[in-house]
Chain A
Amino acid sequence: MHTEAAAQGRLAHHFPDMKTQEHAARMGMWLFLSTEILLFAVLFTAYGLYRFLFPLGFEEASKLAHVTMGATNTVVLITSSLTVALAIHHARKGENRKVVGLLAITIAFGALFMVLKGFEYYHHFQDGQLPGRFYHYAGVTGPGVSMYFTVYFLMTGLHGLHVLIGMGLLTWVAVRAARGHFGPGYSTPVELSGLYWHLIDLIWIFLFPLLYLV
């Protein structure tokens, strides 16, 4: 396996073989993803607590969320998870051209997500539906309404930042694919950045119902 052309020269001196090295990289990535989940867990905890403290305020405020754009974004991200999974499949077969194409589509979906998210933010800014003391929307008032937008902007903001980082990561991998780096013996970077992208998708799958639907 590790004699494959794509794996040549990629074995670090302290690993006995390519298989162990890839196992280590994958394990490192999973551990990193667990830290990401815990990072978001703080905000999910805050969401849970404040929803419990202000059930009415959260219910009223969440009606101000733009469900159509949110739902479109959900479809966009889930589809992008499919394209990134296909990219991994083709990277393993060494079809670097297809990898580049699929990653480009994935990145485009990410960009589309950010644009739609930007429109949502724009509308919230226009209407004064902002966190904490900046909230000045007259349509919905009451305890907990501004807290909803605090939580909303923190959660979607952190998530958006991750989408941007993910797009950067996939761009780097796409450049490497364009140089023909991947093949049956070596596709770890595609797989690991794909994992990262799936996590971003997964977090959104929780954010969408919590912030827009319930």
Chain B
Amino acid sequence: MSPSPASSPVYNTPNYLNAEKGVRSWLTTLDHKRIGVIYLVLTLTGFFLGGVFALLLRLELLTPGPTIMDAMTYNRMFTLHGVIMIFLFMIPAIPGIFGNFFLPLMIGAQDVAFPRINLLSVYLYLLGAAIAVWGMIHGGTDTGWTFYTPYSTTTVTTVAPVLLGAFILGMGSIVTGLNFIVTIHTLRAPGVTWMRLPLFAWAMYATSVIQVLATPVLGMTLLLVAVERVFGFGIFDPARGGDPVLFQHLFWFYSHPAVYIMILPAMGIVSEVVQTFARKNMFGYKAVAFSSLGIAFVGFFVWGHHLFTSGQSTFASGVFGVLSMFVGLFTAIKVFNWTATMYQGAIQVSASFVYFLGFLYFLVFGGLTGIALSTVSLDVHWQDTYFVVAHFHFIMVGGTIMSFLAGLHYWWPKMFGRMYSERWALAASVLVILGFNATFIPQFLLGNMGMPRRYYSYPQQFQSLNVASTAGATLLAFGFGIILTYLIASLVKGRAAGPNPWRSRGYEWNTPSPPGVENFPGTPVYDHGPHEYHEPVAGEVTRAH
């Protein structure tokens, strides 16, 4: 798990990676940085699995009719793809990896508030992931990741273990969020006022609020479905007076805010990246910080836009539609501020920065289609078509994964003390962005032509666009393969990064790379905000204990 070459000059200084040795020291670690690295390994494993299933789905859709699997296998595959990507990667990845690793560094703390609960979250993740994946593969769950009743309560496949797994994963997510909120409130170093809080920390704060307040609702709802399956109490079963639409309401009360659990941390990462690589502090810092809270708040009142065609009243649909557009408003505030930050900046084009640009484009494109989808009359046409699939993949993959990659490239030198090949990174970033466009733009067109989601087969006239989409997915997979290769290579033979290879003024660069166990030599004291590029390089304003 840990990169080892101790002889290299990078690892001569004591740091969190070489402080203790052996698997046991990793399994029982309370160090937030090591827990971040563990999450990196675990969530990337999830991403790999989910990606393999995505490729199998795209392969099946290469031709009309059965290509490599039958309808039932296809249903199981998209369930595996959805559940794994959502619960094992999108939700835990950025908070688990970068939140754990960098949040304490960004606020000048030695650790998160509750290190043992932090370790507990890792084990909840492992346990939940094991139960869910085992349940899906062994029981062949075919409900999709949304577990809609009454199908999920009547299907012949096994569903209860997946529900239990998702419940446990949710508990892990809750304690992570809880930990971060308390950490930000209580452990900011002297001088790190709320208005100097790095924007990634603001984004993590908003995310954590959603994790804490929304996840219990999902947990209980999934447990109810499990109870329904095991005992047949009839709580969501129309045959016994139950209301399946109640499930949809409860499910989306979590699962819509959950998409902001996925995108808000991404917005936080790019806020850091754009400031560093444009060498300017954020244009409209407060607007960006508060719009994160705005999204978190409004996000709780838009779930009904998933129920436009579920018999919800027209009035309710209208209200939910309008409220949904407010998310677009807050997102637009961020987009304008990121763009304005680049204006007259001294831009340094790096792989991170390219991913930031990709993120901006995908977010605007995906966001605008989201506004279109929140318009009730248009949504009725697009409901359950590939248009919806393309829309949320633009935000989830185009937005969150671009930002994840931006953060991974930006912070990799800090996490492991070594540089990767920038040339390969740039090449891969272009490939990934092209591959992504090729995968999902055809899906917008297909959806608009009426191709429904979640079918393993389609009419002949849809084939050329489906072939384009599959080709794009292959390109995307190839790009991820390159990234994985040069990142692993950098662990072995990358040159030493030094404490601050990007000359960033972010607080987290105020440490050696990789950081020592105690993060800072003493308690840092700040007299200016992060990313103030007229100030001297960060790292010179610490005082000893």
Contacts and interface: CB of A to CB of B under 8 A. Distances in A.
A27 B241 contact: no
A185 B276 CA distance: 45
B231 interface: yes
B114 A28 contact: yes
Contacts of B246: 45-46, 49
Contacts of B235: 46, 132, 147, 150-151, 154
Interface in A17-37: 20, 23-24, 27-28, 31-32, 34-36
Contacts of B521: none
Given A27-B182, A147-B234, A42 B220 contact: yes
A13 interface: yes
- The residue in B186, B187, B235 that gathers the most chain A C-beta atoms within 10 A of its C-beta is B186
Interface residues of A, number: 39
A121 interface: no
Given A20-B186, A49-B246, A150 B234 contact: yes
A83 interface: no
Contacts of B232: 132-133
Interface string A128-169: 000111100000000110110011011000000000000000
B217 interface: yes
Given A35-B212, A46-B246, A49-B246, A24 B241 contact: no
Interface stretch (B105-113, B291-299, B379-387): B105-113
Interface string B190-225: 000000000000000000000011111101110010
Given A35-B216, A154-B227, A131 B234 contact: yes
A38 interface: yes
A14 B114 CA distance: 10
A41 B110 CA distance: 36
Contacts of A153: 233
Contact of B243 (A39, A53, A132, A146): A53
A27 B227 contact: no
A36 B186 contact: no
B233 A32 contact: no
A132 B212 contact: no
Contacts of B179: 28
A9 interface: no
Interface string A43-80: 10110011001100000000000000000000000000
A125 interface: no
Contacts of B243: 49-50, 53
B110 A14 contact: yes
Contact of B212 (A34, A146, A151): A34
A133 B240 contact: yes
B233 A13 contact: no
B51 interface: no
Contacts of B240: 132-133, 146-147
B523 interface: yes
Contact of A28 (B110, B113, B220, B241): B113
Contacts of B494: none
A90 to B, nearest CB: 27
A96 B115 CA distance: 29
A142 to B, nearest CB: 10
Contact of B523 (A16, A35, A144): A16
A124 to B, nearest CB: 14
B250 A31 contact: no
B242 interface: yes
B174 interface: yes
Nearest to B209: A31
Contact of B224 (A31, A32, A42, A53): A42
B101 to A, nearest CB: 15
A41 B217 CA distance: 7
A101 B313 CA distance: 57
A167 to B, nearest CB: 21
A39 B409 CA distance: 38
A24 B217 contact: no
A196 B234 CA distance: 31
Contact of B241 (A15, A20, A54): A54
A94 B181 CA distance: 31
Nearest to B247: A46
Nearest to A57: B241
B388 interface: no
Given A143-B241, A154-B227, A31 B217 contact: no
Nearest to A45: B250
Contact of A38 (B185, B217, B241): B217
Contact of B111 (A14, A36, A131): A14
Given A16-B523, A31-B181, A31-B212, 7 more contacts: A13-B110, A15-B186, A27-B186, A39-B216, A39-B220, A50-B243, A132-B232
What 4 pairs across the A-B complex have the smallest Cβ distances?
A132-B233, A132-B234, A42-B220, A14-B110
Interface of A: 12-16, 20, 23-24, 27-28, 31-32, 34-36, 38-43, 45-46, 49-50, 53-54, 131-134, 143-144, 146-147, 150-151, 153-154
23 contacts: A14-B109, A24-B182, A27-B186, A28-B117, A31-B182, A34-B212, A38-B214, A38-B220, A39-B216, A39-B219, A40-B220, A41-B216, A42-B217, A42-B250, A43-B220, A45-B246, A45-B250, A53-B243, A54-B241, A131-B231, A131-B233, A132-B231, A133-B232
